[in-house]
Structure 1
Amino acid sequence: MLDFTLENISAEDVERLRAVYEPLAQSVRELIDATVRTQVEAADVAVAKAEIDAATARLRRKQLDGSFGVRYLASGERMAWGNAVIGIRNPIAPPVEIQHDSSGTSWCDFHLGAAYEGPPGHVHGGVAALILDHLLGEAASDGINPRLTGTISFRYLRATRLGDLHAEAATTRVDGVKTFAAGHLADDHGVTVEAEGVFIQPRWARGE
């Protein structure tokens, strides 16, 4: 039985849940891309819609109340599986897998296809902002206590091509509860968007 009672959940249980739900989300990502780009006949679209509606009804037989949220395990591992950027269970997330190196830089390599289009053949500016906002926040956080976006600004140097992309960010300075971070997004022709922001440790994380 698959449930979401995470008290005393083991690493093996987490991997068991991941093995079930991550492939489902990936299949829906493929469905989204196929929906955007399909050119099949109307009859095939109608059949596909009926099949999708049936699958949706099956998945709705048992659901969480509200969103997935962020779940913390006894090990300290964070399950942000519903997140719009990194959520392995969220089909609208690419998803982005963020890495951290010894220099303090946070970075990620990922792919954005047709579902993320703004200008023809290019990434929607809001999607670029979404990913950079999350990445800078990760760079500003220490892995335990979150820092939430206070202010953030973006400088769009040129349009970002759809396809394989790279983004990175790092903390630039810390002033009390405020952490300053900067980063950029790049396609195969170089940097396309620069970002800088101020991230604040919330009161609840300070024990206030």
Structure 2
Amino acid sequence: MAELLSGAAREERRDAVGDLGAAMRELVDACVRTEVDAAELAAVAAGARELAARLRVGGRGLLDVAAVDDPVAGERWYSPVYGPGSPVAPPLTVEAEGGGRVTARVTVPKAHEGPPGLTHGGTIATLLDHVLARALRSAGRGGLTATLTVTYRRPVRLGVEHLLVAEVGELDGRRSTARARIVAADDPDTVLAEGEGLFVALRPEAAASTFAGVSHAPEAWTARP
């Protein structure tokens, strides 16, 4: 079980985690775009397995929280949506939040391609789901996604900067709703996709069951006292 870090030690490790994550995203991008010959692919695969073995020497279990994370604040450094250490995150960057409203930016890479040149629909749904949850968190609410409805209006293109805006809607006990949209940064008036979500904060007993075995209690998804 990794001990959570704080202060200077956490910042130092976060810098290293972010640097490795950026390097791995470069590798992922190269992997999905390369047309080198089969012999070179085999050589690179062997090298990649050697690097993986080096990292696994200090690995953690599936339920263990990373030392650089802040579970209470919901900061997940290996999140597949925004995590600086994730090799598959686009990554999405939240630029402003507070009072139930979140604005974020993302440029989707080739690794998240659906139709040629376009973002996979599942990736669009994931991005919307995340900013909806972040909007709730900015309003001091917690919860897990209960329902998510996505309306795809126009293609979301790869390699183009996009903006996502999410706002909290109705609040009713442990239940919260939020709405979000995604637009191209250079055409903010044209909505490309919209998402509406219902989120339900977990009661303490449900949280204990849902996160049983997790090394550090994730309070960001539970009901507030």
TM-score range, shorter chain: 0.7 to 0.9
1:158 corresponds to 2:154: yes
Per-residue deviation at 1:207? 7.5
Q: Which residue of 1 aligns with 2:198?
A: 198
Q: Which residue of 2 aligns with 1:89?
A: 85
Per-residue deviation at 1:79? 3.4
Pairwise CA RMSD? 2.3
Per-residue deviation at 1:52? 0.9
Report if the CA contact (8 A) 2:167-2:179 is conserved.
Answer: yes
Deviates more, 1:128-137 or 1:155-164: 155-164
C-alpha separation between the residues in 2 aligned to 1:156 and 1:78?
28
> What is the letter of the counterpart of residue 181 of structure 1?
A
Change (3 A) 1:184 1:33: same
Q: Which residue of 2 aligns with 1:4?
A: 2
C-alpha separation between the residues in 1 aligned to 2:97 and 2:132?
14
1:115 corresponds to 2:115: no
Change (3 A) 1:11 1:185: same
- Answer 1 or 2: higher relative contact order, Cα 8 Å, separation at least 6: 2
C-alpha separation between the residues in 1 aligned to 2:99 and 2:70?
26
Per-residue deviation at 1:95? 1.9
> What is the letter of the counterpart of residue 149 of structure 2?
S
Report if the CA contact (8 A) 1:68-1:82 is conserved.
Answer: no
> What is the letter of the counterpart of residue 83 of structure 2?
G
Deviations 1:130-154 (A, max 9, x none): 0100110111224765221111101
TM-score where L is the length of structure 2: 0.81
Report if the CA contact (8 A) 1:69-1:82 is conserved.
Answer: no
Q: Which residue of 1 aligns with 2:167?
A: 170
Per-residue deviation at 1:10? 2.8
C-alpha separation between the residues in 2 aligned to 1:178 and 1:124?
29
- For residue 72 of structure 1, give the secondary structure of its aligned residue in structure 2: coil
- For residue 141 of structure 1, give the secondary structure of its aligned residue in structure 2: helix
C-alpha separation between the residues in 2 aligned to 1:145 and 1:41?
52
C-alpha separation between the residues in 1 aligned to 2:101 and 2:224?
28
C-alpha separation between the residues in 1 aligned to 2:18 and 2:64?
14
Change (3 A) 1:65 1:95: same
Unaligned runs of 5+ in 1: none
> What is the letter of the counterpart of residue 52 of structure 1?
A
C-alpha separation between the residues in 2 aligned to 1:63 and 1:144?
33
C-alpha separation between the residues in 2 aligned to 1:184 and 1:136?
10
1:131 corresponds to 2:127: yes
Change (3 A) 1:175 1:143: closer
Q: Which residue of 2 aligns with 1:98?
A: 94
TM-score where L is the length of structure 1: 0.87
Deviates more, 1:170-179 or 1:64-73: 64-73
C-alpha separation between the residues in 2 aligned to 1:45 and 1:178?
50
Change (3 A) 1:58 1:32: same
Q: Which residue of 2 aligns with 1:51?
A: 47
Task: Give % identity.
Answer: 32
Deviations 1:102-129 (A, max 9, x none): 5642011111111010011000000000
Deviates more, 1:168-177 or 1:134-143: 134-143
C-alpha separation between the residues in 2 aligned to 1:38 and 1:111?
20
